[in-house]
C-alpha cells in the first residue's frame, strides 16, 4: 500500500469516535514501515494490549477499524491456530480473537464482528515470509505469494464488509 501519514490514519477510522481516533497510539516510525510489503496496516498498542487497529484500502476508501482483543479469549485445547485472514498457522498465543464494533447504530447497540487473526496483525509480512510465525517457517503452499496476498485481501474485505454492514442501521 502507499505510505500513510498520521492524519490519514486517524481520519480513516469508521467504527470509533473522532476523539478516540485522535487518541490512538500510532505505530512508531511511520515513515520507515515496509509499506511496499504491506497490503494493510495492522498494529497493536503495547500500552493498550487489549486493543488493535487495522487500516486498509476498502472499496477504494481508506478504512480503519478498531479492534478489541478480549483478555480471556477462548484459548481452547488446540496447540495451534490459523489466522482467518492470511491462514498462517501459529501457536495458540500467536492468534487472537479480534472483535470490531460494527459501524453506526448496530455498533452503538453493541453489535460486533469477530475474527481470529494473527495476534500482531502482521499478516502481509507472514504471507511474504518477511516475518516468521512462532511455529517456525510457514508451510509451503501451492499458491504463489501474489495469490496468497489476493486471498488474504479477499478475507479482509469480507471482514470489513461485515463491520461496515451496520452503517445502514
Ligand atoms: Zn494473519
**pLDDT digit string, tens, across residues 100-122:** 999 988 888 999 999 999 999 99
Phi, psi (deg, nearest 5) at residue 164: -80, -10
Ligand 1 center–CA 62 separation, angstroms: 20
Residue 1 reports pLDDT greater than 90: yes
DSSP character at residue 116: E
Output the CA 106–ligand 1 centroid distance in Å. 26
Judged against a pLDDT cut of 80, whether residue 53 lies above it is answered with: yes
Task: Give pTM, 2 decimals.
Answer: 0.91
Looking at residue 141, what is its pLDDT? 80
The values of phi and psi at residue 127, to 5°, are -60, -40
**How much distance in Å is there from the Cα of 49 to the middle of ligand 1?**
18
Average pLDDT over residues 10-25: 96
Q: Tally Cβ neighbours within 10 Å of residue 25.
A: 13
How far from chain centre, in Å, is Cα 54? 4
pLDDT at 169 over 50: no
Average of pLDDT values for 81-105?
93
Amino acid at each position: 500500500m502507499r505510505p500513510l501519514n498520521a492524519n490519514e490514519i486517524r481520519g480513516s477510522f469508521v467504527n470509533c469516535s473522532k476523539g478516540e481516533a485522535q487518541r490512538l497510539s500510532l505505530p512508531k516510525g511511520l515513515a520507515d514501515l515496509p509499506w511496499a510489503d504491506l497490503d494493510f496496516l495492522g498494529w497493536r498498542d503495547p500500552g493498550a494490549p487489549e486493543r488493535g487497529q487495522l487500516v486498509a484500502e476498502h472499496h477504494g476508501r481508506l478504512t480503519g477499524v478498531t479492534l478489541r482483543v478480549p483478555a480471556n479469549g477462548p484459548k481452547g485445547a488446540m496447540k495451534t491456530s490459523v489466522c482467518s485472514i492470511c491462514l498462517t498457522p501459529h501457536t495458540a498465543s500467536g492468534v487472537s480473537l479480534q472483535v470490531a464494533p460494527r459501524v453506526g447504530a448496530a455498533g452503538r447497540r453493541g453489535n460486533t464482528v469477530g475474527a481470529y487473526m494473527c495476534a500482531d496483525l502482521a499478516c502481509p509480512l507472514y504471507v511474504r515470509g518477511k516475518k516468521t510465525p512462532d511455529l517456525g517457517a510457514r508451510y509451503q503452499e501451492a499458491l504463489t505469494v501474489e495469490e496468497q496476498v489476493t486471498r488474504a485481501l479477499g478475507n479482509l474485505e469480507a471482514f470489513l464488509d461485515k463491520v461496515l454492514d451496520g452503517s445502514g442501521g
